[in-house]
Amino acid sequence: MGKAELPLHTPGTKIDRGYIGESVPRPNAARLLQGRGAFTDDLRFPRLAHVAFFRSPYAHALIKKLDLEPARRQPGVIGVFDGRAVAEYCTPWVAVLAHLKGIKSPEQHAIAIERACWQGEAVAAVVAESRTQAEDAVQLIEAEWEELPVVVDMEESLKNTKTIHPGFEDNICFKREHDTGGVDDAFAKADVVVEDTFHFGRHTGVCLEGRAILADYNAAEHSLTVYHATQAPHMMQDIFSRHLNIPEGNVRVIAKDVGGSFGIKVHVYADEMATAALSVMLRRPVKFVADRLESFLSDIHAREHRAKVRVACTKAGEILAFELDDLTAIGPYSVYPRTSGIEGNQVVNLTGGPYRHQKYKARMHVVFTNKNVTCQYRAVGHPIAVALTEGIVDLAAQKLGMDPAEFRRINLIADDAYPYTFPSGIKFEKLSHHKALDLLLKITNYAHLRAEQSRLRQQKIYRGIGLAAMIEVTNPSPAFYGVGGARISAQDGATIRLEPTGMVTVMCSVTEQGQGTEGIFAQIAASAVGVSMDKVKVITGDTGVTPYGGGTWASRGAGIGGEAVLQAGRALRSNMLEVAAHILKADKAELDIAGNAVINKLTQERKLELAELGRVAYFRPDTLPMDFQSELTVTRHYTPRQYGFTFTNGIQASLVEVDPDTGFVKLLKHWCVEDSGTVINPMLVDEQLRGGVVQGIGAALYEECLYSPEGQLLNGNMADYLVPMSGEMPDIVCAHIETPTLQSQLGAKGVGEAGTAGAPAAIMNAINDALAPLNARVTRMPFTPERILRALKKV
C-alpha cells in the first residue's frame, strides 16, 4: 500500500494532504456573491402555477363547513382543494420509529381533514396563475369552525385533563426511562446535592429563505421532478414516491441553492406534500414558497423543555451521579419521518456527557400540544442537555466554593480513558476534554479575566464568565434512524470522473446549504487525485445525478460524504495511473499524480499532462493494449459502523456584562475550542462554529415563540420575534484540537452543531456568574431583560 492509500492520520507517516487543512475560499460562493445563484423561488417554468394555503385560525377546531366556491370564481384561479381531494393523490403518514419504543402519533394528511390541530395548519389550497391571485382567493374561502378544547401548556398536557387526539388515552407521544442503578444510593451518601429546574423557550430556525418547493409532474411519463429547498433529496424522493404512488425511478429531487436549513429543511411538511400532489392533480408545475408569516406558523419549532436536574457530589468536588426529569412538548403530530421523539431522547443520552460519574437516572416525557409541530433543529437536544449539565455543574461548584474551571477539571473524563462508555449507553471513540479545557483557559487568559471581573465588581460593574463543556453527536451510523425503520440513508456516495481535458467532476449525495460542502469536496478530490482545485467541479443535490445518500444533517457531510469523496478520488487516481503506465510504458508503482500531471514518483519529473491522458483514454483508446479498458469514472460509498455516532467534544466560554438597572446583557466576547478531528478547511470550520454560536446566542437571549392560552402564536413575524443581528454580536475566538476518528481514512468528525450546542449554556453561566454577587439567578431561556430584572426583584 503506497502512502497515498494510507489514512491521513497514519501515525509516524507524513502523508501529502494537499489542500486538506488549508483555508481556501469556496469556489461556489462566486455566483452567490453576484446574486446569480438559483434558489428554488428563482426558477421560472412555463405554465407554472402557484399555491397558497388557507390555514386554520384556531389552535384546535373541527371544520364544520368549508365553502370553496367563492375562491374558485376568482381571476387566475386554477383550482381550489380541500384535504379530502388531495388525500386521493397523497396517502397520509404516521411518524413513529421502532427503536423509540412506544412512540405514538396520529395519522397526518397533506391537508387537514375534518379537524385542525394547530393555528396555521393548512386546511385548503388555492392554485392560481400567480401567488398574488392565489392569496387573493384564499381570502374568500368561507369556513365554519367548532372550536375544541386547546392544550398549550405541557404540564397540563402531561396531566391529561384534556386529551387532544380521539383514540389515544393520553397526550404522551413518547416516554423514556433510563437507570444505571445505584443512583438513589449515591444521592443518599453524597456530601453535596444540588438541584434546579431549567426552562427552555420554544424557538425556530428562521432560515432567511423560506421553505420552497416546485413540483413538476409529467403525465406522459408519470414522472415527478421536484425542485426543493431540502437537505435530503434521496429521502424526499422515497417519500414522494411512496405517498404519491409514483415509481421511485420516476421521481427526481433537485436541491439547487438552498438559503439556509439548520435542520428546518430535512422534514416532511404537509403543505409541501400537498404542493407535489397538486402538481400531479393539475398536471403542471406548481410552486409553494412559505412567506415569513407562514414560516413562523409552519416551519418546525424546537426546544420547548422543562427539566429538573440533580447532581450528587463529594466534598472534594467529585460528581457521583446525575438525575434528570425532562418534559418536552411537540405540537399535535410527531413529524415525519424522523419523529419528534429524538430531541428528548438526545437530552437523555447527552445530559452529564463530559463527566466521569457512572450513576445516572433519567425520565423523559414527550407530550402533544395544540401548537405548531416541533422536530430536529440544529444541535438537536444538545443545547438543552449542555445547559442542564453545565448549569447544574456550576451550581455545584458554587456550593462547594470551587472555581468552575477547576471543578470541571476534576470531573471531565480523562483524555486517556477511551474508548469509553457513558452511563446513558453512548460510546465515545476518543475525546480530548482536558486538552480542550487547557486550551480554553489559555486563549481566554482565564486568570486575568477572573482578576478583572473581581476588580470591576468593586466599581459595581457586573461581569460574568461562563464555561460550557460539551459532547456532540456527529457522523451518525444507521443506529440513528435506519434501525428504527426510517428510509433515511446513513451511507453516502461519491462519483468522480476524469474529464478528457484533465478536469475532475465530483458528484456527491451530501448536499450544500452554505456550510461549504462543495468547497471541501473540491479540496478533498483535488488532493486525492493530484489536481489543482480549479480543475474540480462538484455537483450535489440531484437524485438523478449523484449516488444514493442521506444528505446533510447531524454534522455528517464532511465525515461521511468527505470520506466517500476521498476514497473515490484515490481510486480514480489509481485508475488514471494504470492508463498512464500503458501510455508511458512504465511501471505504475513508479508514477504518481501531482500538479495536474503524471509524474515520476522519485524524480518528480512531469511525464504526462492529464489532458493528454484524457485524450488518449477517451478518443484514442485504440492505442492502448487490447485487453485494457480504462475506468475513469469511479464511485465509492462510506458508512460509519463501528460506533453509533462519532462523538466530538469542545468547550466554550462567554464573557458578558449585565446591567442590573436595565437587565440588559452585553456580550463582550465568546471563545470556542472544538475537537472535530481532521480539519479540512479551518476557515469554514471556524465559520460553522461562529454561525452556530450566534444561533445559540439567539436561543439564550432573544428567541422564543410565544403562544396565548388559546394557542395563538403572538410573535410570528421578524419584528416581534427577535433574532441575533450584527450590532449585538461579539467577536468569537475559535481554536482547535485535532483528534481524528480512526474509523475513516479522512479522520473528519462533524462541526456543524457544536456552536449552537454549547453557547446557550456558556451564556447562562456567564449571566449567573455576573448576578451571583447580587444573589440572583436565572434559569428560564431566553434571558430577556425582564426576566433578569425579575430575578433581581426589580420588577
Partner 1 sequence: MDQTLVVTLMVNGTQVTRSVQPRQHLVDFLRDELGLTGSHIGCEHGVCGACTLRVNGEIVRGCLMLAVQANGCRVDTIEGLSDSKELAKLQKAFHEKNALQCGFCTPGMLMAAQDLVRLNRKPTREEIRSHISGNYCRCTGYQAIVDAIEEVVNG
Which chain residues interact with partner 1 by CB under 8 A?
A: 25-26, 29-37, 39, 41-42, 44, 75, 130, 132, 136, 205-210, 257-262, 291-292, 513-516, 683-684, 687, 690-695, 717-719, 723-727, 729, 731-732, 755
Considering the complex, state which of residue 166 and residue 727 has its C-beta at the smaller distance from partner 1. Answer: 727
| 456 Cβ contact list (under 8 Å, min separation 6) | 462, 463
Considering the complex, state which of residue 222 and residue 666 has its C-beta at the smaller distance from partner 1. Answer: 666
Residue 341 amino acid letter: G
**What are the two backbone dihedrals, phi and then psi, of residue 509, each rounded to the nearest 5 degrees?**
-80, -10
CA distance 456 to 442: 21
Least Å distance, CB 100 to partner 1, is 29
DSSP character for 357? -
Q: Residues 364, 327: contact at Cβ < 8 Å? A: yes
Considering the complex, state which of residue 240 and residue 721 has its C-beta at the smaller distance from partner 1. Answer: 721
CA distance 20 to 633: 22
Coil, strand or helix at 205: coil
Q: Residues 384, 302: contact at Cβ < 8 Å? A: no
| 648 Cβ contact list (under 8 Å, min separation 6) | 431, 471, 472, 474, 555, 674, 675, 676, 677, 749, 750, 751, 754
Least Å distance, CB 694 to partner 1, is 4
DSSP character for 560? I
Cα 373 vs. chain centroid, distance in angstroms?
17
Residues β-bridged to residue 638: 492
Least Å distance, CB 7 to partner 1, is 27
Least Å distance, CB 32 to partner 1, is 3
* C-alpha distance from residue 52 to each of 38, 290, 372 (Å): 22, 9, 18
Least Å distance, CB 762 to partner 1, is 14
Considering the complex, state which of residue 294 and residue 492 has its C-beta at the smaller distance from partner 1. Answer: 294
Considering the complex, state which of residue 30 and residue 447 has its C-beta at the smaller distance from partner 1. Answer: 30
Nearest Cα to Cα of residue 337 among 102, 112, 98: 98
Least Å distance, CB 454 to partner 1, is 27
* C-alpha distance from residue 99 to each of 257, 349, 537, 640, 663 (Å): 34, 14, 40, 19, 45
Least Å distance, CB 329 to partner 1, is 24
Considering the complex, state which of residue 132 and residue 532 has its C-beta at the smaller distance from partner 1. Answer: 132
DSSP H or E stretch at residue 131: helix 131-138
Least Å distance, CB 137 to partner 1, is 11
Pairing mode of beta strands 122-128, 49-55: antiparallel
Q: Cα dihedral sign for 153, 159, 163, 168? A: positive
Q: Residues 444, 653: contact at Cβ < 8 Å? A: yes
Least Å distance, CB 768 to partner 1, is 24
Coil, strand or helix at 541: coil
The single residue listed with the C-alpha cell 411537540 is: 330
Q: C-alpha cell of 528?
A: 486525492
CA distance 76 to 81: 15
DSSP H or E stretch at residue 565: helix 562-584
Least Å distance, CB 633 to partner 1, is 30
CA distance 693 to 324: 25
CA distance 550 to 569: 20
Q: Residues 628, 650: contact at Cβ < 8 Å? A: no
The single residue listed with the C-alpha cell 421560472 is: 44
Residue 170 amino acid letter: D
Least Å distance, CB 256 to partner 1, is 12
Least Å distance, CB 688 to partner 1, is 8
Considering the complex, state which of residue 443 and residue 611 has its C-beta at the smaller distance from partner 1. Answer: 443
Considering the complex, state which of residue 323 and residue 687 has its C-beta at the smaller distance from partner 1. Answer: 687
Nearest Cα to Cα of residue 351 among 317, 315, 308: 308
Considering the complex, state which of residue 443 and residue 723 has its C-beta at the smaller distance from partner 1. Answer: 723
Least Å distance, CB 514 to partner 1, is 3
Least Å distance, CB 303 to partner 1, is 16
Coil, strand or helix at 133: helix
* C-alpha distance from residue 663 to each of 307, 515, 528, 790 (Å): 24, 35, 54, 9
* C-alpha distance from residue 134 to each of 71, 110, 272, 449, 716 (Å): 9, 18, 16, 58, 22
CA distance 695 to 557: 20
Considering the complex, state which of residue 310 and residue 690 has its C-beta at the smaller distance from partner 1. Answer: 690
Taking only Cα atoms into account, the Rg of the chain, rounded to an integer number of angstroms, comes to: 28
CA distance 8 to 748: 10
Considering the complex, state which of residue 417 and residue 725 has its C-beta at the smaller distance from partner 1. Answer: 725
Considering the complex, state which of residue 136 and residue 238 has its C-beta at the smaller distance from partner 1. Answer: 136
Nearest Cα to Cα of residue 55 among 385, 239, 290, 317: 290
Considering the complex, state which of residue 146 and residue 291 has its C-beta at the smaller distance from partner 1. Answer: 291
Considering the complex, state which of residue 50 and residue 359 has its C-beta at the smaller distance from partner 1. Answer: 50
Considering the complex, state which of residue 108 and residue 511 has its C-beta at the smaller distance from partner 1. Answer: 511
* C-alpha distance from residue 32 to each of 37, 232, 235 (Å): 5, 21, 26
Considering the complex, state which of residue 617 and residue 694 has its C-beta at the smaller distance from partner 1. Answer: 694
Considering the complex, state which of residue 164 and residue 656 has its C-beta at the smaller distance from partner 1. Answer: 656
Least Å distance, CB 265 to partner 1, is 11
Least Å distance, CB 42 to partner 1, is 4
Least Å distance, CB 355 to partner 1, is 28
CA dihedral 458, 464, 465, 467 (to 10 degrees): 150
